[in-house]
């Protein structure tokens, strides 16, 4: 896990809420605190869509950020900044499988629960942390280090300046 302090709050939040920066990620959960605390569970409710709809629209277990972003943006836009927000992103299943196959150091995609990116805004500061969950015990941290490096690369490729936090 790495903790990366985002240096340019304005451009990062513009990319997050207006642009397409994290659109390909899924949302595990989101919490936005303004005049109320709004909490979103990103899991798709099993009975809401028919099997046919899920297949046609390729609806998986979690909502995409692209789908939830307009709702979340509507909660924070205005003259006042939010008190805080927290968003837990997941790499989609197909991308997770590909990443684990390339960098998993002996782990199979089934043994890896999730590859996560957490965005935390508090006290006018944004922290981006990485995380992985594995379904087995392992002392090998190769996958974790590769995921950390991938997120650093992702931020650099999108010209997002950050500082490593200890």
Report which of 75, 77, 60 is spatially closest to residue 30, judged by C-alpha positions: 75
pLDDT tens profile 99-151: 999 997 788 899 999 999 999 999 999 999 999 999 988 888 899 999 999 99
* Burial (Cβ within 10 Å: 0-12, 13-18, ≥19) of residue 12: buried
pLDDT tens profile 53-100: 888 887 888 999 999 999 999 999 988 899 999 999 999 999 999 999
User: What does the pLDDT read at residue 105?
Assistant: 76
* Burial (Cβ within 10 Å: 0-12, 13-18, ≥19) of residue 162: buried
Q: Where are the alpha helices (DSSP H) in the chain?
A: 9-17, 51-56, 65-76, 93-103, 142-157
User: What does the pLDDT read at residue 166?
Assistant: 66
User: What does the pLDDT read at residue 155?
Assistant: 97
Give dist(CA 126, CA 132) in Å, integer. Answer: 20
């Amino acid at each position: 896990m790495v903790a990366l302090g985002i240096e340019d709050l304005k451009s990062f939040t513009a990319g997050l809420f207006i642009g397409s920066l994290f659109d390909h990620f899924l949302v595990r959960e989101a919490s936005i605190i303004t005049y109320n605390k709004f909490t979103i569970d990103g899991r798709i409710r099993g009975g809401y869509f028919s099997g046919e709809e899920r297949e046609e629209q390729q609806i998986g277990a979690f909502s995409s950020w692209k789908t939830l972003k307009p709702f979340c943006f509507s909660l924070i836009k205005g003259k006042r900044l939010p008190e805080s927000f927290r968003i837990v992103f997941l790499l989609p299943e197909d991308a997770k499988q590909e990443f684990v196959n390339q960098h998993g150091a002996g782990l199979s995609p089934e043994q890896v629960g999730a590859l996560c990116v957490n965005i935390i805004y508090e006290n006018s500061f944004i922290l981006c942390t990485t995380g992985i969950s594995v379904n087995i015990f392992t002392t090998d941290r190769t996958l974790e280090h590769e995921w950390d490096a991938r997120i650093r690369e992702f931020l650099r490729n999108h010209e997002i300046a950050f500082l490593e936090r200890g």
